[in-house]
Structures are given as structure tokens and as C-alpha cells.
Structure 1
Amino acid sequence: MKRDVVASEFLEVLTKVSRRVRTAFNQQVTAHGLTYPRARTLFRLTKKQNMTQTELAYELELEQATLVRLLDRMEENGLIKRQPDLRDRRAKLVALTPHGEEQAAFVRSIADQIRDQIFEGVDISELQQAISVLERITANLADLEDVHVPA
């Protein structure tokens, strides 16, 4: 098979897999009363507490206004707290409350179960090779993004 045909097929499969992983995760968290954006936010905040709203918006790939509405609801539900950033009075730091930490642990357990199911029967060497391929593609994409199109 030609390289461009295989590369196209790879991108198509990658897109389908990505969509299906998101759908599976979304179905599991919504079945337990969470929304997908809320679950993703909890998950992200377990990795790094006290992020600024701007950092969190970037990490989640959300518009600032969308994130603010999401955080407002999460704060009302006692999942997060926002406090001023002592280094920048304009910025707010976002952290999980104890209730938010409980919910985040629950989200993590759902993610762990899904991950275990997804990778059942896949050898670790296959995963490592796939990671290498995806890292190379990511680097190539970064190069592509750095190229400016003339006006």
C-alpha cells in the first residue's frame, strides 16, 4: 500500500478512536450524574491544583467565558473554590474542595476502568511504539503550526 493511503487510514482510525474514547467516558460520567466538561475539569485539577482560570481554560481548550460559567456551577455545587492569586491581583486560582477531591477520585476510577478495558490484550511494546509514532506526529504538527501563511 502507498504511504499516503496508509497515513490517511491512520488519521481516520485515530479520529474514530478519539471520538469513541470521549463518548465512552462521557456515557460513564453522565450515568453517574456528572457532565463531561465538569468531569474533565475535576480530572485536570487533580493533576495540578491552584491553576489560574486562564491556565485551566488553555488546558481544557475552552473559551474563557465558557470556563467561567462552568466554574460558577462547580463552585455553587461545592466542587471547587476560587481565590485571588497573590502574584497577580487580576487572576483567580482554582482548587478542588474536599467534596471536589472525592468527585475527582470517582472520575479517576471511571477513567481507570475505561483505560483497562480499552487496552485489554494490547502489549506494552505496541503501546510504546504507538506513543513514539504519536509523539513524532505531534512534533510535525508543531512545525506545521509554526509556518505562517502569507496574507
Structure 2
Amino acid sequence: MPMSSAADSRSASPHSMSLGAVLTDTARMMRVRFDQRARHLGLTRAQWSVIATLARNEGIKQAALADLLEIEPITLCRQIDRMEEGGWIERRADPTDRRARLPHLTPKAHAVLEQGRALATGIYAEALAGLPSDAEAKLVEMLAHMRANLSDRRAEPAEKTAAEKIAAKA
């Protein structure tokens, strides 16, 4: 039976929830907490995602940045247009492709990036409170392993049909 609210999921036994439900709820709660504490930065969650991702990939082509953000290139283009108008991002000529202009963070974005990272660090500490000191490193290692498992393999059918099973035995 699905959980009806965040309060229900907090009181549920960890064994009664699936891995997906716990990951989804935890990620959502961390995003909400970040949004609550980051309002004063003057950025939407989508803008913050662009800044954080671009900080790790400065000067990347917009199509590749859109792939990293898992959004359509046209959506990103509009977002970058607005962020450029707001002074968060500047586009610079691509030295290898005269048609392309690559997004770069401005000093304004770099300043807010440090504030956002500090907020995130506080939220991580809050989320990990009461766990052993090595819990974060272990959790990151396990989740990175899971991500690698999923990204390294092509999607496979969940289960073969009965006819496929019989054919495979023949």
C-alpha cells in the first residue's frame, strides 16, 4: 500500500518501504530543505542546478549541459538566456567552433555557489545526524556503485516470457 504522506513515511518501518521510495523521499526532502534555506540567494531550484552543474563543467557546450541536467536543449537555452540577463552566466566564444558560445559562471554565480555549498553541507549534516561518523562516505560509495551498475549496463527486459524461456532451453 503506498504511503499517504511524508509523516507516514517517517513513522513507517524502514523494512516496509522500498529502496526506491526511501531514495525518492530523502532526495525530495533534501531539495525542499535546500529551497527553504536558499530563498535569500535569489535563485530557483532549476537555476541552482544549472549553476552547480556548470561549476563542475565550466565551458561545456549547451547540448552536453542539457544532457547532464536531463532537460531538453531548448529548455536549457531559455534558462541560460534568463540567467545571462540576471548576471549569473555569460556566454563566451568557443575557440574550436566559431558558431558556438559556451556558458561560463560570472563572479556573482561563483559567490552564490559557495553559499549554496555551505547550505548543502549543513543539510547533509542534519540528514546524517545520529549516524556513525563514516556513514556519509559509505553511503556515497554505495550509491556511486549503484549508479555505475545502472549506467554501465544497457536496459534489459525485466523478465523473459514463458515462450522465450522454452526457446532458450531448446
Would you say same fold, with TM above 0.5? yes
Q: Which residue is 1:93 aligned to?
A: 102
Distance (whole Å) between structure 1 residues aligned to residue 141 and residue 110 of structure 2 = 33
SS in 2 for 1:28: helix
Higher relative contact order (CA 8 A, sep 6+): 1
Q: Which residue is 1:12 aligned to?
A: 21
CA contact (8 A) 1:29 1:36 kept: no
CA contact (8 A) 1:78 1:99 kept: yes
Pair member with larger Rg: 2
Q: Which runs of 5+ in 2 are unaligned?
A: 1-14, 159-170
Classify 1:102/1:126 alpha carbon distance in 2 versus 1 (closer, same or farther; 3 Å): closer
Tell me the matched-pair count.
145
Matches within 5 A, 1:1-151: 9-147=18-156
CA contact (8 A) 1:42 1:107 kept: no
* Letter paired with 1:25: F
Classify 1:7/1:141 alpha carbon distance in 2 versus 1 (closer, same or farther; 3 Å): farther
* Letter paired with 1:67: L
SS in 2 for 1:145: coil
CA positional deviation for 1:143 = 5.0
Distance (whole Å) between structure 2 residues aligned to residue 124 and residue 65 of structure 1 = 43
CA contact (8 A) 1:50 1:93 kept: yes
CA positional deviation for 1:116 = 2.1
CA positional deviation for 1:53 = 1.1
Classify 1:7/1:143 alpha carbon distance in 2 versus 1 (closer, same or farther; 3 Å): farther
| Identical positions, percent | 32
